[in-house]
A and B are shown apart, each in its own frame.
Chain A
Amino acid sequence: MKNASNLFVVAEVVDGHPVGLCHEMLGLARALADRSGGTVHAGVLGSGLGGAGEDLIAHGADTVRVIDAPIFAQYQADAWLPDLHAMIGQVRPDAVMIGHTPLGADLAPRLAFRLGTNVATGCNHVRVEGGKLLLTRPCYGGKAEEVVSMLSSPALFTVKPKCFQPCPKQDNRGGELVRMDSILDPASVRTKVREVRRDASDGARLESARIVVAGGGGMKGVRGFELAGRLADALGGAVGASRVACDLGWCPPSRQVGLSGKTVAPELYIAIGISGAAQHVAGCANAKTIVAINTDPDAPIFRYSKYGIVGDCHQLMPALIDKIEALRK
């Protein structure tokens, strides 16, 4: 892999719309391609895709390959791989990027090995230097970062959410939309999705919230989270949690922020009773401002925080709710 002029973005679609991370990837791809006069390709598989292809063009893709077929209603690697593999064979990109989501983290390694290459997962920074594509990714639970490059082509990587700026949407942007037929042999799909269980607690809002109130072990139980919920309501924000709090059942797993949970980047992240382990901070480090409330003045979370209160959150949360409600009046 010597350069990165031709890029291929694998787009993920939910309810017919490309997810926000697609736009972030297109922003990155555009920046890389514009420096070298290259092309940004995108590929999307799904069922009932509507204007997804046009949306990708408006956000920076030059060509979009679309396959709209009922078999792609539910993601499965076995179903996605043959057509993606074929698209990549047509485009011959220097690099392929996929979102680091449950779908992308499942798909990317399979695709990489099918192409005989490796993949750098969860990249938060990408640049070309001396003709080399340098991929930066956190490792050791977020305590370190590594920069890697690939010897084999195409270079595959997955992109961590909230790390790259999307291009502004341009409705009149020109681009080529190629609608294709699937080459998939349905008999080659060995797995079957029997049922999808949606979490009732609307965790999706967590990722787009401007303010997140997150609770950890210091919450001491469900009661603590009730207060955190009231505080989040007063602020018009969403509730997040550490893994300890989710593992103990105080909060649904869809609220978990961190390395093995969600990545959030709100304007304001209020970490309450959270120690600030690297694996937690990995999911909120891109917040504009972090505030910590903790009884332990030496808790690592204060090292990432702009404002801190050393104190008992069970006394502080009601006081905060009062002050914020007073402010609103």
Chain B
Amino acid sequence: MKIVVCVKAIPDPEIAASIFRVDEAAKRMVPLPGTRSVMSPFDEQALELALRIRDALGEGSITLLTLGAETTRSIVKHGLSLGADDALMLVDPVFDDGDSYTTARALAAAIQRMGGVDLILTGRQAADGDCGVVGCGIAELLGLPAVTFAMDIVVTDGMLVIERALGEGSEIIEAPMPAVVTVSHEVGKVRYASLRETMKAARKPVTAWSAEQLGLDASELGTRGARRVLERLYVPVNDVQCEYMVGETPEELAGNLVERLHAARLI
């Protein structure tokens, strides 16, 4: 079974809001000095599901697929040390400043070129833009079924049995292969890199393709192919003033809060 996991390098999503900055003129986030890109957390969970499938089947290959600048190499290394078999990087300046549409297009073209792929996994959304579009986009472009928000996947008799997280529980969905599945955090804990895989990682094949090698025209990619225009990027202002309750004991503090809330007719 051949699995492709789409992974994106993003700025650490857990940095505190108090130190988060954007350059409004350039419409970009300002990277914090000394920080590195990380693999988007849901993509890490997608990779975890791929590894669990391979463990359960006792066979199969896992290819990491990423579109981005050369800086994405660190997340590729990370993915290989977690157990992926090889990686394909799409690196070309013409990919720059695209949107979900152009990204899905390039990834779909790469998957088609690879050939023989049974399962394509993506994160439910990349934790920088929080769009949640590329996975389903790949499915539509390749004419494949898609299942979103997977928390578990079991492969039986050449079929995918997917548990999909819903707001109020989950549903069990059957899908044929090939298919695209987007993965949610309900997958649970992801594994750590093992020493064995980390040692092997340096020797695992990493290929890079340009737009031309993908057979795509520059007009379909990056800024030129994008359908979405970024008009503004900013940090919203938040002007709530907190009134801290005073009191010597928990009872006094609680009493003061209840009094405030009662006076404000909130309770």
Contact = CB atoms under 8 A, between A and B. Distances in A.
Contact of A260 (B124, B145, B230): B124
A279 B11 CA distance: 15
Given A118-B101, A196-B172, 19 more contacts: A101-B167, A102-B148, A109-B136, A121-B133, A140-B11, A141-B127, A143-B235, A148-B230, A149-B228, A191-B147, A193-B173, A197-B169, A203-B168, A260-B184, A300-B16, A306-B241, A309-B254, A318-B250, A324-B267
Given A190-B175, A197-B171, A316 B233 contact: no
A262 B129 CA distance: 18
Contacts of A311: 250, 253
A292 B25 CA distance: 35
Interface in B173-201: 173-176, 179, 184-186, 188
Contacts of B11: 140
Contact of A141 (B18, B130, B267): B130
B234 A268 contact: no
Interface of B: 11, 13-14, 16-18, 20, 22, 27, 29, 99-101, 104, 124-125, 127-133, 135-137, 139-141, 145-149, 161, 165-176, 179, 184-186, 188, 226-236, 238, 240-245, 250-251, 253-255, 257-258, 260-262, 264, 266-267
Nearest 9 pairs of A and B residues by beta carbon: A113-B140, A319-B254, A109-B136, A199-B169, A315-B250, A147-B232, A190-B145, A195-B172, A118-B227
A309 to B, nearest CB: 5
10 contacts: A109-B132, A121-B133, A140-B29, A146-B233, A197-B169, A262-B167, A309-B244, A309-B245, A309-B253, A323-B258
B258 A320 contact: yes
Q: Is the interface of B mostly helix, strand, loop or mixed?
A: mixed
Interface string A252-283: 01100001101000011000000001110000
Interface size on A, as a range, is 35 or more
Contact of A144 (B20, B184, B255): B20
B24 to A, nearest CB: 10
A118 B101 CA distance: 6
Given A195-B172, A315-B250, A106 B148 contact: yes
A143 B135 CA distance: 23
A312 B16 contact: no
A292 B241 CA distance: 12
Contacts of A315: 250
A134 to B, nearest CB: 6
Contacts of A142: 17
Contact of B266 (A113, A262, A267): A267
A102 B166 CA distance: 6
Contacts of B169: 196-199, 254
B243 A308 contact: yes
A247 B179 CA distance: 28
Q: Is the interface of A mostly helix, strand, loop or mixed?
A: mixed
Contact of B174 (A112, A192, A309): A192
A309 B188 CA distance: 32
Interface string A136-178: 0111111111111111100000000000000000000000000
A143 B20 contact: yes
Contact of B245 (A137, A307, A324): A307
Contacts of A120: 228
Contact of B242 (A110, A138, A302): A302
Given A144-B22, A191-B175, A78 B145 contact: yes
B13 A292 contact: no
Identify which of B13, B16, B228 gathers the most chain A CB atoms within 10 Å of its CB. B228
A289 B172 contact: no
A146 B100 CA distance: 15
B149 A102 contact: yes
Contacts of B139: 110
Given A140-B20, A144-B29, A247-B188, A190 B242 contact: no
B240 A323 contact: no
A95 interface: no
A226 B12 CA distance: 34
A289 B264 contact: yes
A72 interface: no
B254 A109 contact: no
A152 B253 contact: no
